[in-house]
Amino acid sequence: MPGQDDYIQWPCLPPGGALNRWSHAITREHDFVAAKAMLYAAGVPDEHTMQNAPQVGIATVWWEGNPCNTHLMDLGKIVKKAVEKQNMLAWQFNTIGVSDGITMGSDAMRYSLQSREIIADSIETVTCAQRHDANISLPGCDKNMPGVIMAAARHNRPFLMIYGGTIRKGHSTLLNSDVNISTCLEARGAYTYGKLHAQCPKPNGDAATPADVLDDLERHSCPSVGACGGMYTANTMATAIEAMGLSLPGSSSYPATSPEKARECERAADAIKVCMERDIRPRDLLSRAAFENALVLTMVLGGSTNGVLHFLAMANSADVALTLDDIDRASNRTPFLADLQPSGRHMMEDLYDIGGTPSVLKMLIAAGLIDGSLMTVTGKTLAENCASWPSLDPGQKIIRPLDDPIKKTGHLRVLRGNLAPQGAVAKITGKEGLSFTGKARVFDKEHELDAALQRGDIKPEHGNLVLVVRYEGPRGGPGMPEQLTASAAIIGAGLKTVALITDGRYSGASHGFIVGHICPEAAVGGPIALVKDGDEIRIDATENRIDILNVDLDELRERKKSWRPPVTKPLRGTLAKYARLVGDASHGAVTDLAEPLESTNW
């Protein structure tokens, strides 16, 4: 498949051969004298290098204010040195990031999903404008990974991704247990409902109060750099992209501070040179079969609902036909095997200790669940990449045997019904049960529900409740904010008679009986906009349905007559632009949809 500017045809390969097929357009002879003058000023040492050395862009999603990203510049410098040892020019550049953990629960979270589009746009822009011959991208936080893959599919030049790596586990002395970022938010819910208690005294021997526990968690949940450590969205996307062959073996499971992560950065130069010499490009790897491999691994590992949005978005950029129905089929045929957080006990660091992602892939290839014949950025097949890795020890407790799964089918369920005629996505591990019926309690924004939970207004004695959070979709948010604050508070408070549904989305750290991505969203007049307090809602993960009971279509149409669309806020700036351009969640919430959306009438 062509890249953005492959319409330029050269009669023969440039002096540097296949390696500088793009940069040669501005470095040959004296056609672009200003470009060459600029490149000399940027550090090109001589005419021979100018004419012959390929130019590799190294894109870091670096900034200092987030542990997922703060180390990426240092990793990028390792990559730069390795590329230069291959007699190639290495140009570091940067793009933006948003910390989901820091923005969670506030209006700032609306900027998170749209950062994926900015990341893709900016890497595409620099790569194509500067005529780089290849790109190595280093993402960290969860929107980073799909953003760099979307860019790669657009520029379609030799590419590989280096995941910044997972954070190490934290430890709370007062709880006497390993902890992570999700522990903080769940503890906040327990604190509100009077259920947070220390297991150990403070170091000075005094009894620890619940506030002391929160202090301890804030100080120790994130002990190092690296992305959130469970099978949350960052690790979901990193493992899936490794399964698609776009990163080196082990990239997704090496901890950020491990020696292996630094060595991976050194090996990247060899790999990108292979891709350049053999003209292996992202669209060669982003095949339908590669997406199916990614979906299988995500179901096996218990990955994030955000993965659905990102798979659809990446497929759109690569012109691969992928729909919610494909995700549903993958879930129906794939067992859920991993005892990983948020629903399980272990972290990515634990998976790394037993062999990491390649060992899991090796097992799944042997079982016929993963196609190991697909090419990867190493120039070898996925099966060849995994062959030298250790097989999973039969005694390990993290990945269950295929004949003894946690759940026989996948945990991500695509639901439809009169509440979501164009689809919704649920994370149902089976531990919550497979169906839920309750009375609706409606909140027009997430902050309204967060405030109600902080007041302790949602009580077990209220019976089965379906908490409905709306006007938080891609347009309505705008930006489709994650709702981990609410979902974690519900878990921490032990509210087992509560389900949570939204046209927004959830963090990968969310668990419980939750449904998101309800489409059409409330902001465009979807049925979720018409739900009233007290309506009975049924969620059925066996029949894959979500319905308002005892309210027929005529009643919904009557309610819609009095519905008025909300005014989008803000009226200017990046969120306003995003709201005008973005498509719906069932198509990945992208701003450059390849085909126009069907009517949202229902």
Residue pair 120/126 in contact (Cβ under 8 Å)? The answer is: no
How far apart CA 333 and CA 407 sit, in angstroms, is 11
Task: Report CA dihedral (469, 474, 478, 483) to the nearest 10 degrees.
Answer: 40
> Where are the extended beta strands (E) located within 187-229?
none
- By the 10 Å C-beta count (0-12 exposed, 13-18 middle, 19+ buried), 14 is classed as buried
How far apart CA 310 and CA 476 sit, in angstroms, is 19
Establish whether 287 is a catalytic residue.
no
Please report, for residues 337, 342, 363, 390, the alpha-carbon distance to residue 400 in angstroms, rounded to integers and kept in the order given.
5, 16, 11, 16
Q: Per the structure block, which two tokens stand in for 564?
A: 């008025």
CA atoms 25, 30, 32, 38: torsion sign: positive
Exposure string for 490-514, b = 16+ CB within 10 A, e = fewer:
bbbbebebbbbbbbbbbbbbbbbbb
How far apart CA 31 and CA 10 sit, in angstroms, is 14
How far apart CA 478 and CA 166 sit, in angstroms, is 29
Q: Specify the DSSP class assigned to residue 475.
A: T
Q: Residue 310: CB partners within 8 Å, gap ≥ 6?
A: 116, 145, 146, 233, 237, 588
For the chain, helix, strand, coil in percent to 5 are 40, 15, 45
3 state SS of 591? coil
- By the 10 Å C-beta count (0-12 exposed, 13-18 middle, 19+ buried), 577 is classed as middle
How far apart CA 51 and CA 49 sit, in angstroms, is 5
Question: Which is the catalytic residue, given 251, 304, 507, 586?
Answer: 507
DSSP assignments along 270-296, one per residue:
HHHHHHHHTT--HHHHS-HHHHHHHHH
How far apart CA 431 and CA 449 sit, in angstroms, is 24
Q: Which active-site residues does the annotation give?
A: 507
